[in-house]
Amino acid sequence: MIIPKLALRNMLGAGIKTWLNAAVLSMAFVTIIGAQGLYRGWDADISRIMTAAEYGGGQYWVKGFDPYDPFTLQDAHAAVPPALTERVEAGKATALLYVPATIYPGGRIRSVVLKGIEPGQKALEFPSSALAGSGAELPALIGNRMAKAAGLAKGDTVTARWRDARGSYDARDLTIVEVMRTSVQSIDEGQIWMPLQTLRKMAGMPGEATMVTLAKDIPAPGAIPGWDFKGLDLLLKDIRDLIAAKQIGGSIVYVILMFLAMLAVFDTQLLSIWRRRKEIGTMMAMGVTRGRAVALFTLEGGLNGVFAALLGAVWGIPLLAYFAKHGMTFTSEQADSFGMAVDKGIFPVYGAGLVLGTTFLVFAVTLIVSYLPARKISRLKATDALRGRMS
């Protein structure tokens, strides 16, 4: 136990130098935990709001439907099978019909998807009720991004043109009865929501749907011929991959921070061993073996990690706790620049695993970086060290 005690004594004795290194290192520390916590919070947040507004407890897609291939859309509809109808009627699911269309806002042409949803549905946290009771013949609901992109506002009408089930074109004016604010882009951009029954009539697809979304936590009833079940893992995969990619991009920042902090530790160690070579010689004369001297200096450097953790705790815990409590807020433009849903704010999540993992990482790297220069001591002759020389 003597070596740790001496190492601590030496580091505390070195005063300001020790705390400067610890300060630099603590910045890396808190940034890593903060950024990782932010990504985790974001991931949790996105999963939550997308699940609530769009994915529910998973979706049954009609066979052949591929959201990434607009050409599949035209034929992606079929009668809702009895097993699902039962759940829709029980309020445990909701059916959605997708019909590709073009609209002509302000004389320009835009491709959109008309999406039919039951105004009274309760399966999703989606403001479908806005489609009921407006009195408009063809009520339509759009998101704020879509409204902005197409230059549409509440009360406007817009001409839509679509092909019905038999393949003949039809065109009508839709009335925008509501513009919803949503943080979920995938229920907003390029789409127009309408009452399911109205859209079924317009498209000549009575009783049909493109997908049936289960309410949250409703278990899937099993395989249904002609329909493919898509679970949450699969539905959230894209967004999670995107977050993971951003996370990797973000980690470059802390690789740089860690590198700078480690450079400072390495430098201090190298200098310290050079400056204190006579001290090392003296210790050897008193019976400290080279191995113990190496251990002592490695541990001294490693203590930088401990001090950084302490210092980081002092200023980092209040800061991170503040963000965890109040969230990090973004304007809707900033939020959209993330390329995915950001709710009112992100509430970072700092798990014990994250904190312990980061602490362990910082300790391990600091020890390694401290050991490298300390290795020099193992080739040092006591007589040379005492004469102030270093071989």
Partner 1 sequence: MENGMLIKTTDLTKVYPMGGQSITALDKVNLSFAKGEFAGLVGPSGSGKTTLLNILGSLDVPTRGSAEVLGEKIETLTHRKAAELRNHHIGFIFQTFNLLPVYTVYENVEFPLLLLGMAPAARRRAVLAALEWVHLSDRARSRPAQLSGGQCQRVAIARAVVKKPDLVLADEPTANLDAENSHHILHTMADINRDLGTTFLFSTHDDKVISHLRRKITLIDGRVAKDEPGPAAEKRP
Please give the residue ranges that form the binding site for partner 1 (CB under 8 A): 2, 5-6, 9-10, 12-14, 278-279, 281-290, 381-383, 386
CB 263 to partner 1: min, Å: 24
Q: Smaller CB distance to partner 1: residue 13 or 82?
A: 13
Residue 298 Cβ, how far from partner 1 at the closest point, in Å?
18
Question: Judged by CB, which is closer to partner 1: 14, or 78?
Answer: 14
33 three-state secondary structure? helix
CA atoms within 13 A on the CB side of 176: 23
Q: Give the torsion through C-alpha atoms of 233, 237, 239, 243, to 10 deg.
A: 110
Nearest CB to partner 1, comparing residues 174 and 385 = 385
Of residues 278, 286, 264, 296, the one with CA closest to residue 9: 296
Per-residue 3-state assignment (H helix, E strand, C coil) for 153-175: CCCCEEEEEEECCCCCEEEEEEE
Looking at the Cβ atoms of 14 and 260, the one nearer to partner 1 is 14
Residue type, 132: A
SS3 206: coil
**Measured from the CB of residue 289, what is the shortest distance to partner 1 in angstroms?**
4
Question: Looking at beta carbons only, is 8 or 149 nearer to partner 1?
Answer: 8
Measure the CA–CA gap between 6 and 127, rounded to whole angstroms. 66
Q: Which is nearer to partner 1, 249 or 287 (CB)?
A: 287
- CB-based contacts of 166: which residues, under 8 Å, 6+ apart? 204
Contacting residues for 390 by C-beta, under 8 A, at least 6 apart: 274, 277, 376, 380, 384
Minimum CB–partner distance for residue 368 and partner 1 (Å): 25
Residue showing tokens 């990690």: 305
Sign, CA torsion 231/125/180/47: negative
Short-list 181, 373, 152, CA closest to 280:
373
Question: Side chain identity at 128, as an amino acid letter?
Answer: S
Least distance (Å) between residue 20 CB and partner 1: 16
Q: Which is nearer to partner 1, 162 or 297 (CB)?
A: 297
- What are φ and ψ of residue 148, in 5° steps? -70, -45
- Considering the complex, what minimum distance in angstroms separates the CB of residue 381 from partner 1? 8
Select 201 or 381, whichever has its Cβ closest to partner 1: 381
Q: How far is the CB of 282 from partner 1 (least distance, A)?
A: 4
Minimum Å gap between C-beta 6 and partner 1 is 7
Q: What are phi and psi of 208, to 5 degrees?
A: -105, 165
H/E stretch holding 121 reads none
